[in-house]
Each structure stands twice: as C-alpha cells, then as structure tokens.
Amino acid sequence: MDQDEDYKDLFFTECDELLAELQDHLTLMSSGEHGRDIVDATFRAVHSVKGGAAAFGLDALTGFAHRFEAVMDACRAGRLDVDDTTLPILFRASDMMQELVEHSRSDAPLRDEVLQQITRSLDALVGIEPEPSAVATADTTGQTPPAADGEPIVVTFRPEPNFLACAHDPLRMLRGARRIGLTEVRVAGDLPPLEDLDPMVCPWTWHLTFAQAEPSVLRDFFSIYDLSARIDGVPTADAPATLPLRTSQPSEGARVPTTDGGTGVGYVKSLRVPLDRIDRLVNLVGEIVITQAAVAQVLSQPRHGVEDTLAHSIEALSRQVREMQDSVMAIRAQPIKSAFSRMPRIVRDLSATLEREVRIEVSGEETEVDTSVIEELIEPLTHMIRNAMDHGIEPSDERLAAGKARDGLLRLTAQHRGERVLITLEDDGRGLNRDKIVDVALQRGLIPSADGLTAEDIDNLIFLPGFSTASEVSNVSGRGVGMDVVRRKIQALGGRCLIHSTPGEGTRFQVALPLTLAVLEGMIVEVAQERYVVPLSTVIEAVQLRDGNVERLHNGQILVARRGEYLPVYSLADLFGSREQTSARGDMAIVVDTETDGQIALFVDALIGQRQVVLKGLEENYRAIAGVSGATILGDGRVALILDIPSLIERRKLMFKHQSKHRQETA
C-alpha cells in the first residue's frame, strides 16, 4: 500500500499544476480569448483530474469533475457559449475543484451546500438532471455507496502493449476498482516462455465483476485507461470523449503528504527545476571537490613556491563556491507569475461583491524571485487589492460624474532593480482622503495629535494596527487588520512598502523585496570599531569629504556637494547612538540610493571591502530591530549587522522631529 500512497501523492502534486493551468485558461477566456486551443486545454485539465480521482476512488471529486467536464465539452463543441453567464460558474467550479482536492488530500472541511449549488449550476448550463452519485457529498471512508439493486456488470480489461509504458499498474487498478464495487476477479492468458517474455508487456486479461455498481462511476474509473487498454462491458452513455491521464514531474510549490511525527499530516514543498540548472550545479560540485583535493595535496607536501600554488587554488575554489551559490539561488528562483496569477480572480470576486466594475492589468509576471518570497507575497498582495477596490476605486456612477472611465483600473507590475524586485500596485481611484484618515486615527487613539504631520506621514497611518476608515465591518474590510498585515509581512521579508497618493487620481503602493532571503552581496564598513554590512545594490560610490564640498545648514544637517547636486550626509555612529567619535568623520562617506529619500551619503570610519554574505534573520533568533534587516558571520568569526538604510533614515527623521518639538515646547 505504500506504493499506492506514493502514486496518490504524485496525483495530488499533479492536481496542483492542473488546477493552476485551469485558472490560467479561465483567465484567458475571461479576457476574450475563446480559441479552440484554450477551451480544449481547459477541458483536458478537468478531465485529467477526473481520471486520476476515479483511479483512487475519490468519488466526490470524480463526480464533480465529470459535471465540469461535460460543460467544457459543450463549450468546445459549440453547444454552449463562453460568455458572462458561463464564466462565473466556471470560476466557481474551479474553486470547488480545489476544495475537493484539498478535502481528498488532507480531509479539509468541505462546504457541502456550496458543492450542491455549483453542481446544479453546471447541470443547468447543459440542461441535464444531476445524478445522485455525481452530486453526493464527500465520503470520508473512500468507499462508493452501493447503487440500487440491479444486474452485476462484468468488465473485460485487456492491457495494450503500451500499458506499462504509460505508467499504469494492474495491481493499482484492481485496488482502485475494489473501492467502487469490484466483487470478483478472473484472470485469463498464458505466461510466454521465459526467453520470449517481455517485461514491458502485460500478457493477461482480467474479467472484473461489479455488483450494484453505478454505470457513471465505472465510466469515470476506466476512462483513464482508454488509450492503453481494451475495455469491454462498461455501460455506454452520452458522455464526453475521454483522454488518458497525463503524468508529470512534481510542480512548483506542490504539497506532498508526509508523516508529522504522529501528530497529523504535514506537507513537504517541492520545486520543478530545469534540468540544465541541476547539471550546472552537479558540475560545479565536481570542480569544487577536485579543487579541494588539490588544496589538500599542496598543504600536505610543503615545498618552495607553495604560496603561489595555494593562492591560485584558493582563488579557484572561491570562484567555484560563488558560482555554486549562484546556481543554488537560480534553482530557488521562480517566476512571480504563480502569485500574480491569483490576483485577477480576486479582482473578479470583489467586483461582484462590491458591485463595482474593475479590471486589472498585470505585467512583469516572468520576473524571477526566491520561491520563499513568492509564497509569502500572496497575502499582502491580496490585502492591497482589497483595500484599493473597497476604498480607492469609486462606483461607476461616481467615476462617470468625475469624468473617468466607467470601469476602474488596477495595474500590477514587477521588475528587477539591482538586487531587489520592485512590485507596484496602482489604481486610478479617488486617492486617499487625508482628512478622514487623520480623524479616524484621532478617534481611535492611534495618534495623540495631528500637529506636524506631513502628507506622507498621514498616508502611512493606514498601516497602523486597528486602522480602518470603513463605517461598518464587512466581508471585505472594517476590522483594521489588512494594511497592518501588509507592512508586517513585507518587513518580515526584509522589504519595504511605500505609498503615494494623489487626491482624485489614485494611489500607488510600491513594495521593494530582496531577490533572495539567503545570500546577499554587501559592502563591509567599520563604524566606531564595529563592522556593518550595507547591501551592495544600494551603494553608488565612495567619496572623500573635504572642506570645499561640505556645507552645514542652520538646523545642523550636513550636505556634501557632488557633481552639481547636494546630498544629505548622515553619520552611522549617530544613527546608532554611538558615543565614540569616529576617527574619519569628516573624511570618508559612501553614497547609497534609497527608495524613500533618493541618494544620501553616510559617514563611515573605513571601507573593509565587498563580500558575499549569508543572511540570517534576527526576528526569529532575537527580536526585530529598527534599521537592521538581519545579521551575518564574517570570515574572522565576527557577527556583523546588515543595515536597512531607509529604515535608519526614517528613524533619524522621527528623532529629529521629536527633538525639534521638544525645543519648541521648552523655548
């Protein structure tokens, strides 16, 4: 039975891929692409899930997929139009397929009433009455309820020469048939002489007797073997044409059941990786082993000139290790499409709930980022879209009165910027109502006063825990947790979320995330006898500060002249509150680029050099620290903090604002 479970795991893994394809095809159809190839691909995805479910006796999933398949067959045959009436039902059916898969995989809760309702909607599209077995709720025992009394059905099953090559297994077929009412098995056929035996050909024929079996269940079960076996005796019906079950490698982000120490069922994530990336990694490992052996040989036999040979070997080893790190990162890199592809569906659902006409444009879906970042990105993106549609985009009549298009527009984009990925969500709605934001923040006690708040400060109040401008709690908003979740999630990933709003024109959310959560290119600097890492992607250059290019403003802010412009200069020692005087305070600075304040300069004592460092989070090992995105261990064993420069500057601004306010109050 362990092998059966392995096959079942593979089936559920494939279901994840098939359902993702199904969502993509439906999204294309909703955008007006109703070509035969897309409709056929949608049909095949549903049919493949149905065939596998039938093989494992997952009756609720099989019955529902059969109904879904019938509708898609009507669409591809031209008997049913793919229009605004059909598509919402198809999307709901896709969701229910996912729910049924999760129920079959991990016994997740199943909404029986919703299952019945969607099944009736599918039936209504093709004008058929629902069969009791197809609409039945999930049976947690995995057994099919016996049908009404009737004559036994005998099915003759003759494998074709390609049966085993198609990854089928007679024993697995018989075990699955037992779940749907198999009561008797007779085997016919002779085993050829050993010298003529072909292990890839199955020479036997099975006569299978089913007592009180549902004809529709039998058709669904045996449909998986249509192209790899001759099957006689299954009752015929006006059912859609069948295709064989397609097997594949595990898909990206798929969940495979595994034991959890006896406490339940957990899941192991898997990735689909191009073979050339694996080959490159294997080759690099081989080179590293060879280089390591060369270094060991040199060290074991000291002789004249060993320093040059050893230096050459270590240089080669360093290069190969870096290439191996790049290869590993490339394996973990996946297109952000897996997260973006879910957003059009969310927009459609919210459009129906809020009764607003909204469309979404998505670009940059092929931008690659670490797979762990993608998994954590779905929730904040969902909250941002819900916020934009509920609070930003106006109802159609209000938009028309303002001279805008009837339907609102959301733009979701992704692009690489240095060692980070920049994700932007922009709407063309009414923008943020800053007066209302301030009033709500004061009423809820989230701020003591609105004095001195800039437009940027007010906009960022929406990220406070408990903040909401909704007048009442609904399924979409009102609890004050959405945007708070966005900021916390993004910060936990080592990123930042910025907001820019223009009243009457719209709002733009911008999320900057690291490409990977494992390895970082950094510039090592020394400040007050401590070492820090500044992400290299933000470093523009190092500059020497002289009396001729440094100015000091009346408020104490230092500026440095650089190629016709003045940059604000901050001391890292001051930002960290160090009491030690920096030895080169007026001499050395590095220019860094920030998303919030443009380019700035930072006083440092010394530049140690560029390093590739392994990023370790502080929050799980210690606690979150403002201005620090993580830590690493340097080659000499010292721990160095990895700086989040924009967060440090924001902290400095708040300190300066409080100091100025205190001076005014005491003046």
- Rounded to whole angstroms, how far apart are CA atoms 602 and 329? 30
Q: Which of 98-112, 287-301, 546-560, 616-630 has the lowest mean pLDDT?
A: 287-301
Residue 594 pairs in a beta bridge with 598
- Rounded to whole angstroms, how far apart are CA atoms 343 and 365? 12
Chosen domain end from 88, 118, 135: 135
- Rounded to whole angstroms, how far apart are CA atoms 430 and 408? 10
pLDDT level of residue 255 (50, 70, 90 thresholds): very low
- Average pLDDT on 341-364 reads 85
Higher-pLDDT residue of 244, 111: 111
Residues 6+ apart with CB under 8 A from 199: none
Percent of the chain with pLDDT over 70: 77
Question: Does residue 211 carry a pLDDT above 60?
Answer: yes
Are 165 and 200 contacting, i.e. CB atoms less than 8 angstroms apart? yes
In a domain, 440, yes or no: yes
- Rounded to whole angstroms, how far apart are CA atoms 18 and 25? 10
Q: Is 556 helix (H, G, I), strand (E, B) or coil?
A: coil
Residues 6+ apart with CB under 8 A from 422: 414, 415, 416, 510, 511, 512
- Average pLDDT on 620-639 reads 77
Domain range holding 602?
Answer: 519-666
pLDDT at 509: 92
Question: Does residue 403 carry a pLDDT above 70?
Answer: yes
Higher-pLDDT residue of 166, 602: 602
Instruction: Tell me which residue has tokens 């019906």.
Output: 237
In a domain, 247, yes or no: no
Higher-pLDDT residue of 479, 432: 432
487 and 416 within one domain: yes
pLDDT at 4: 57
pLDDT at 20: 83
Sign of CA pseudo-dihedral 639, 643, 647, 650: positive
461 and 384 within one domain: yes
452 and 435 within one domain: yes
580 and 570 within one domain: yes
Sign of CA pseudo-dihedral 510, 515, 518, 523: negative
pLDDT at 428: 92
- Rounded to whole angstroms, how far apart are CA atoms 515 and 318? 22
- Burial class of residue 167, CB neighbours in 10 A (0-12, 13-18, 19+): middle
The candidate with the shortest Cα–Cα distance to 321, out of 516, 514, 519, 517, is 519
- Rounded to whole angstroms, how far apart are CA atoms 202 and 200? 7
Number of domains in the chain: 4
**What DSSP line would sit under 281-325, residue for residue?**
HHHHHHHHHHHHHHHHHHHHS--TTHHHHHHHHHHHHHHHHHHHH
577 and 523 within one domain: yes
pLDDT level of residue 424 (50, 70, 90 thresholds): very high
623 and 535 within one domain: yes
- Rounded to whole angstroms, how far apart are CA atoms 252 and 255? 9
**Over the stretch 443-469, which tens digit does the pLDDT of each residue have?**
888 888 888 788 888 888 888 877 776
In a domain, 144, yes or no: no
pLDDT at 414: 93
In a domain, 202, yes or no: no
pLDDT at 282: 63
Question: Which of 34-43, 301-310, 425-434 is the most confident on average?
Answer: 425-434
In a domain, 286, yes or no: yes
Q: Indicate the average pLDDT of the chain.
A: 76
Question: Which of 302-311, 393-402, 494-503 is the most confident on average?
Answer: 393-402
In a domain, 268, yes or no: no
For 308, the token pair is 């040059």
Question: Does residue 245 carry a pLDDT above 50?
Answer: no
The candidate with the shortest Cα–Cα distance to 211, out of 168, 182, 243, is 182
- Which backbone phi and psi does 552 adopt, to 5 degrees? -125, 125
CATH code of the domain in which 542 resides? 2.30.30.40
Q: How many CA atoms lie within 13 A of 226 on its CB side?
A: 18
pLDDT at 148: 43
pLDDT at 666: 67
The candidate with the shortest Cα–Cα distance to 497, out of 365, 338, 381, 661, is 381
- Rounded to whole angstroms, how far apart are CA atoms 558 and 570? 7
Sign of CA pseudo-dihedral 573, 576, 577, 578: negative
- Rounded to whole angstroms, how far apart are CA atoms 381 and 385? 6
**Over the stretch 472-482, which tens digit does the pLDDT of each residue have?**
544 455 444 56
Chosen domain end from 514, 544, 567: 514
655 and 563 within one domain: yes
Higher-pLDDT residue of 500, 254: 500
pLDDT at 463: 84
How many CB atoms are closer than 10 A to CB 415? 12
pLDDT at 305: 62
- Which backbone phi and psi does 481 adopt, to 5 degrees? -120, -15
- Average pLDDT on 359-378 reads 84
**Over the stretch 286-307, which tens digit does the pLDDT of each residue have?**
677 666 666 766 666 666 666 6
For 473, the token pair is 């709690």
pLDDT level of residue 271 (50, 70, 90 thresholds): low
pLDDT at 620: 67
446: left (phi over 0), alpha (psi -120 to 50) or beta: alpha
311 and 391 within one domain: no
**Over the stretch 2-24, which tens digit does the pLDDT of each residue have?**
455 666 777 787 888 888 888 88
Q: Which of 102-116, 127-141, 156-170, 383-397 has the lowest mean pLDDT?
A: 127-141
Residues 6+ apart with CB under 8 A from 653: none
531 and 502 within one domain: no
Chosen domain end from 334, 359, 379: 334
Give the 3-state DSSP-derived string for 43-69, with helices as H, strands as E and coil as C.
HHHHHHHHHHHHHCCCHHHHHHHHHHH
632 and 580 within one domain: yes
pLDDT level of residue 498 (50, 70, 90 thresholds): confident
pLDDT at 322: 72
In a domain, 172, yes or no: no
CATH code of the domain in which 345 resides? 3.30.565.10
- Average pLDDT on 424-437 reads 91
372 and 508 within one domain: yes
pLDDT at 266: 37
- Average pLDDT on 78-85 reads 85
Percent of the chain with pLDDT over 90: 6
Higher-pLDDT residue of 645, 269: 645
Question: Does residue 235 carry a pLDDT above 90?
Answer: no
- Average pLDDT on 606-613 reads 82
- Average pLDDT on 479-494 reads 72
Task: Give the neighbor-by-neighbor strand order of the sheet with 153-159.
Answer: 182-188, 205-210, 153-159, 229-232
651 and 539 within one domain: yes
**Over the stretch 544-582, which tens digit does the pLDDT of each residue have?**
877 667 887 877 778 888 887 888 888 887 777 665 544
How many CB atoms are closer than 10 A to CB 176? 20
- Rounded to whole angstroms, how far apart are CA atoms 540 and 346? 40
pLDDT at 508: 93
pLDDT at 297: 63
Instruction: Enter the pTM of the model.
Output: 0.58
In a domain, 449, yes or no: yes
CATH code of the domain in which 72 resides? 1.20.120.160
First to last CA, the chain: 82
